[in-house]
Chain A
């Protein structure tokens, strides 16, 4: 058992689960998608990204790349939310909600790849 490995796995899986939690529900219903969940997903995703810094192996590079994609998508979702609610003032209309949620959906896909990589990496380890 290695604490570093536990923390690494924890954050990657947590990033995916939080992302999933925000994503599930009707795509255009703002009641199903709380902004705090998006916030938590962004924070945990950023931490997961930083944890992946500095690994120069091939699998490490793909890990970092998927995380960067997820960050990008989630931040885009966050900016879309902030613009709709605070800048234009149109609020969480079904159109805005569905675009925020679909951006988060893209991030979820990247996070799933990340989790898959983690599982594959673990399965390949012969110890």
Chain B
């Protein structure tokens, strides 16, 4: 705030000096010109005090009718001069002040000062989000729904203004600033004790790299999530220990390869990472084995081609540039016309991956291909979220939106870090295991996608359970899987993973005893999640779940009815 005060003072120097001079001259004049008394005889001039009083109400155009006594003509002449002088002086001052307020530099200084003040006063833990384009917005909205706090740095003024108008539950400081500059990161609270992590989600790899380096150097204790689309950037980020690097193309290519290679695992991943509450498409589109066409051999096409080659799938490539990859048919062209598609062997192909950087071209290619070969399996890349309506109308079997993939990945890492461990372990456990789990999940949740969440058995996240364990109680996992209104019924949830120090227990058995410090991953309905929360925090509910006994009343009643427990 000090900055702005000095800025105003500096700019107001000239008008203030002018005002002081005008007042001084006016007062001086009035104290020199002789007056006149009631009988018309000459009287001494006004004293400095009276002159100051008179000029004060005249100059500000308040025009108080009170004059100490009627003026002589000489005084009146001077007062005319005073009035015009002071009006000019005040107008000049006010215009200068107004111009200053409208000045864009001043506005920026003002909003920066407010931003700094709001960040400094952050009383809850928050995340620093750099870049608020399509990806950033998706992440922000989801975080806001969960009631988490965040600070936004965005390089486009228009986006920041849109953010101000958006209806957030929490107070969101957003600044129009270049996140590549470390000082802006510091302004946004990089070293704030409550800053929990940094999300580098700008659409420039170079900027994300700069942010990640700055965070590593300036506050190494907090995690960084960075989005990277080039392999060079990924390697670079990994070289200095960025905690999570999200490359949407590689990530998607991995999913696609998984779908081809291990359909049951893929189904499991889809079931656990989708948007909770939505229906899983049935049957889930599984890319067929056979001959594929890859249209557009950029970052995306290359990532997919690599996985296909590893999987032993045959594919041909359509790209305007000659890439000269031996062993695969390459057609030079865009694929928007029928000829290159047919030349690439569309009639015999099982599927097509349409992955150019242009949404209109992608749609055109996919529609042409579908017209020639209606049973084709289509995997499409959608670059802009704004085109969603078109892509939904086309109904490709798999639609890949890079910004959505990054956003989902970020949210999964922030909310359920255990899920990543679980899915990795599940892939290793194999198809048969995954198929069995799929059936269990389908029995319990039908085709709805369940919520997944982490629970840590400690004093903050599971107070009642923690206290009970600390007092020597024994709680098994099955106790937590019961319904708090009816103990005999099973709740709509399934414990997926238990992490005890470094050991992972996949699908822990119901009679597994819980220990303090355990991490648990659950999948379940939102009601089950609420019920579980109740059990984790309320001693009474927990006691009922474990023993079937209900307690009414408080401490005194308990002492009277259960003397044996009060003695221990």
Contact = CB atoms under 8 A, between A and B. Distances in A.
Interface of A: 35-36, 39, 43, 46-47, 50-51, 53-54, 56, 81-82, 85-86
Contact of B49 (A43, A53, A86): A86
Contacts of B99: none
B536 to A, nearest CB: 54
A81 B24 CA distance: 18
Interface in B1-58: 6-7, 9-13, 16-17, 20-21, 23-24, 27-28, 31, 47-50
Contact of A39 (B10, B20, B48): B48
B12 A82 contact: no
Contacts of A56: 6
Contacts of B7: 54
A39 B28 contact: yes
A53 B48 contact: no
Interface of B: 6-7, 9-13, 16-17, 20-21, 23-24, 27-28, 31, 47-50
Given A46-B20, A50-B13, 17 more contacts: A36-B31, A39-B27, A39-B31, A39-B48, A43-B20, A47-B17, A47-B21, A50-B16, A50-B20, A53-B6, A54-B6, A54-B9, A54-B11, A54-B13, A82-B49, A85-B47, A85-B49
Contacts of A82: 48-49
Contact of A43 (B9, B24, B47): B24
Contacts of B10: 53-54
A83 to B, nearest CB: 9
B48 A35 contact: yes
B27 A53 contact: no
Nearest to A60: B6
A48 to B, nearest CB: 10
A86 B49 CA distance: 8
Nearest to B10: A54
B54 to A, nearest CB: 13
A81 B442 CA distance: 93
B285 to A, nearest CB: 65
Contact of A50 (B17, B28, B31, B49): B17
A85 B6 CA distance: 38
A54, A82, A85 — most chain B CB neighbours (10 Å):
A54
Contacts of B13: 50-51, 53-54
A47 B19 CA distance: 10
A86 B28 CA distance: 18
Q: Would you call the interface of chain B mostly helix, strand, loop, or mixed?
A: helix
B12 A53 contact: yes
A68 to B, nearest CB: 12
A82 B10 CA distance: 32
Given A53-B13, A54-B9, A54-B10, A36 B48 contact: yes
Contacts of B9: 53-54
A86 B47 contact: yes
Nearest to B16: A50
B20 A47 contact: yes
A11 to B, nearest CB: 9
A43 B387 CA distance: 68
Nearest to B12: A53
Nearest to A11: B17
A20 B310 CA distance: 94
Contacts of A51: 13, 17
Contacts of A39: 24, 27-28, 31, 48
30 contacts: A35-B47, A39-B24, A39-B28, A39-B31, A39-B48, A43-B21, A46-B20, A47-B20, A47-B21, A50-B13, A50-B16, A50-B17, A50-B20, A51-B13, A51-B17, A53-B6, A53-B9, A53-B10, A53-B16, A54-B6, A54-B10, A54-B13, A81-B49, A82-B48, A82-B49, A85-B47, A85-B49, A86-B47, A86-B49, A86-B50
A4 to B, nearest CB: 11
Contacts of B21: 43, 47
B410 to A, nearest CB: 41
B11, B13, B24, B48 — most chain A CB neighbours (10 Å):
B48
Contacts of B48: 35-36, 39, 82
A73 B328 CA distance: 92
A122 B418 CA distance: 67
A50 B11 CA distance: 11
A114 B436 CA distance: 87
A47 B20 CA distance: 7
A53 B17 CA distance: 11
A124 B97 CA distance: 35
